[in-house]
Structure 1
Amino acid sequence: MSAAAVRVGTFEPGSAEWFAARASALGGSEVAAVLGLSPWESRFSLWHKKKGSTGPTDDNDVMRWGRWLEEPIARAFAAAHPEYRVRRSGTWASRARRWQVATPDRLLSSLTARALLEVKTAHNTDEWGEPGTDEVPIYYRTQALWQLDTLGLSRAHIAVLISGSDYREYVVDWNIAEVSVLRDAAREFLDTLERDERPDIDEHTATYRTVRALHPLIDDVEIEIAPTLAERYRTAVAEHKAAENAKRRAAAEVLDALGSGRRAVVACESIAIRVPGTGDSPPSLRPSPIRSTPQKVSAAA
């Protein structure tokens, strides 16, 4: 490895040792949460994990299958790229910023180049662009950029298996404008930990889950809350119910328009699809994924 990084050790992802190595640092999978870009972690939930006030996220089937499929996907990449030596990696820390750590899935080396490999699985093609490009989900882009910056490398390959059979490869190159945003955001986040400055509560599912975990007991007492908070909660509940009713009506209208058809389209764009029901249940309507434009990391993020 280059002189830009020092090896910290080899830890099982998600293990106590793995979390201990990151306790006062930030890894590639955490940077997206700092910027508010992660679908799994919020800035609020990550802050509390770093403070030790909540535990790590419970293991689940998606996480387990991701780990189990890592090796065969890495083998597929190695078979497609005989020019590279593909080897496992440990955890590394930047020599310049010891709070910046990375645990790439694989390190790649050839006679003329060094790179890293990230292995992913996905349910569908949402947010994945044309294979061979850098059009990957923004949270994976931040991870790749962070790891490249930590290790002093310039290119990351991302191998993804979509829907269990669609194998694709993408490439992300180090970019000083983007990694500068990541560095600044990460340092500012770590400073809030030192100042014991809790992030604001936001709408992320991980934030709601964290607040629940912070108060596991129920004391039979009344707590006076601010009238403005009470009104905001009541308004949100009413708007949620109204939105559910509006969605139910719109779904019924689309189903009625489809008749026995399978897919609803507008100008060749799929809007919704009828899917078989379970058992004796009739078909139901499922919305088609809304494709988003691949993003780059920016200060506005």
Structure 2
Amino acid sequence: MSAVDLSLSDEAFRASVVGAGEVAALFDASPWLTKFELFHRKRGTIATPEFNAVTNGVPADMRIFCGVMLEPVVVEIACRLWGYERVETPKRLTNGNGLGGHPDQLVRCPERGVGVLEIKTADWLVAKGWGDEPPLNYQLQAQTYAGLAGVEWCEIITLVGGNDPRRFPLPFKPKVYAEIERRVAEFWADVEADRAPPVDYARDGKTLVEALGQPTDEVADLRESLDAEQEAMDFLDAKARRDEAETDMEVAKTRLIERIGTAGVALLPGHRLTANRTKDTPDREAKQGEIIRGRKGYRRFDLREVKA
């Protein structure tokens, strides 16, 4: 276990390592982060979002905020249910070669000795989609912390729906951790040499725009580029199909509304339709002389498949 100089600011530490929560991007297994975006974060060409940012008392992401606030509660639940004992947990760990992070909690298990708990919260519907094990990105994060902490096991503790604690025990896998370290070292070599990974065109649009910087008055002449012409045609074709699909949706929606009339709920052979109307909101005075206009209610439309 290798601790980090705590004189580093959180921002400086995060910039100096691939965090355990970022490792999945190097395996194309992160639902939130691509390797291309991670590369530009570490190169400094785009900003790294502040984790759990709170501005004027308002969290930027309420799910993250609540998850962080619930971490000690979930740890306490795990200790009481499964007999774990808290162990002093370093604020930061690193392998000394660009991999690091902050484990949620080290604990001592009566049977397995010291291990790492990685705390998560999840809606029941999300957790239902996991099956018998949590997503790969969570497993890679837990394995990273186990390797950094030098322990033989890790466990993902997930509080599902606010009242259903579940644990997913994982033995430490040295080969997986070795591959994590290898990919991290290779990544930093690419960052140093400014070898950017390929763009994920389905996910990296905003990142690419930010990395390129402000547009200029320059005119790009692509008249000889057949690839650019094909991409332009692909874009317009997709836009036309999207517009057509939106029109088809509106037609189907209006037909259903006509069919159910004023009923707020409709039961179909395989679906449930909710079409209630929201309440009108009156005008109100925010401060003297300033009126915030109300708005009329509208009819919501929510159609969901009903599984037998």
* Structure 2 partner of 1:57: 49
Look up the SS of the partner of 2:107 in the other structure: strand
Q: Superposed, which structure 2 residues align to 1:216-227 within 5 Å?
A: 217-225=214-222, 226-227=225-226
Q: What amino acid maps onto 2:153 in structure 1?
A: R
Structure-2 change in CA distance of 1:79 and 1:276 (3 Å): farther
Return the TM-score normalized by structure 1: 0.74
Aligned identity (percent) is 22
Partner of 1:138: 136
Between the aligned partners of 1:48 and 1:229, the Cα distance in structure 2 is: 25
Tell me the CA shift for residue 91 of structure 1.
0.9
> What SS does structure 1 have at the residue aligned with 2:28?
coil
Q: Quote the residue 2:194 is aligned against.
A: 196
- Tell which structure's C-alpha radius of gyration is larger: 2
Partners of 1:51 and 1:193 within 8 A in 2: yes
Superposed, 1:239-250 pairs within 5 Å as 239=238, 241-242=240-241, 245-246=244-245, 249=248
CA distance in 1, matches of 2:202, 2:183: 19
Structure showing greater relative contact order (alpha-carbon pairs closer than 8 Å, 6 or more residues apart)? 1
1:146-225 paired onto structure 2 within 5 Å: 146-205=144-203, 207-215=204-212, 217-225=214-222
Please name the residue that 2:9 is paired with. Answer: 17
- Structure 1 residues 241, 288: closer, same or farther in 2, change over 3 A? farther
Pair 1:30 & 2:26 matched: no
- Cα deviation, 1:141-174, whole Å, max 9, x if unaligned, reads 1111111122221211111123333332211222
For 1:119, the equivalent position in structure 2 comes to 119
CA contact (8 A) 2:83 2:110 kept: no
Q: Does the alignment pair 1:284 with 2:285?
A: no
Point out where structure 2 has 5 or more consecutive residues left out of the alignment: 54-59, 261-265, 279-297
Q: 2:130 aligns with which of 128, 131, 140?
A: 128
| Rounded Cα–Cα distance in structure 2 between residues aligned with 1:181 and 1:169 | 25
Q: What does the per-residue CA deviation read over 1:198-220, in whole Å, with 9 as the maximum and x for residues that have no partner?
A: 11111353x22212323453434
User: 1: CA distance between counterparts of 2:11 and 2:305?
Assistant: 38
Aligned amino acid, residue 120 of structure 2: K
**2:267 aligned to which of 236, 261, 276:** 261
Q: 1:32 to 1:83 in 2, by over 3 A?
A: closer
Task: Answer with 194-203 or 59-68: which moved more.
Answer: 59-68
Structure 1 unpaired stretches of 5+: 265-271, 290-301
Q: Give the Cα–Cα distance (whole angstroms) in 1 for the partners of residues 169 and 41 of structure 2.
A: 31
Residue type of the alignment partner of 2:302: S
1:138 to 1:211, Cα distance in 2 relative to 1, 3 A: same
Amino acid at match of 1:45: E
For 1:244 and 1:153, how far apart are their aligned partners in 2? 54
Deviations 1:255-290 (A, max 9, x none): 96x9822683xxxxxxx764555614153225799x
Count of residues paired in the alignment: 265
Residue 117 of structure 1 contacts residue 159 of structure 1 at CA under 8 Å; is this kept in 2? Answer: yes
CA separation in 2, counterparts of 1:168 and 1:82? 14
Q: Write the letter of the residue equivalent to 2:118.
A: E
- Equivalent residue for 2:69? 68
Quick one: structure 1 residues 232 and 100, their matched pair in 2 at CA, closer, same or farther if it must change by over 3 Å? same
CA RMSD of aligned residues (A): 3.3
Q: Which residue does the alignment assign to 1:299?
A: none
Judge conservation of contact 1:10–1:89 (CA < 8 Å) in 2.
no
Secondary structure, in 3 states, of the residue corresponding to 2:267?
coil
Contact 1:88 1:106 in 2 (8 A): yes
Q: Secondary structure at the match of 2:106?
A: strand
C-alpha distance in 2 between matches for 1:263 and 1:212: 46
Given that 2:118 and 2:155 are in contact with CA atoms closer than 8 Å, whether structure 1 keeps it comes out as yes
d(CA) in 2 for partners of 1:53, 1:40: 19
Note closer, same or farther for the CA distance 1:75–1:241 as it changes in structure 2 (3 Å cut): farther
TM-score, with length taken from structure 2: 0.73
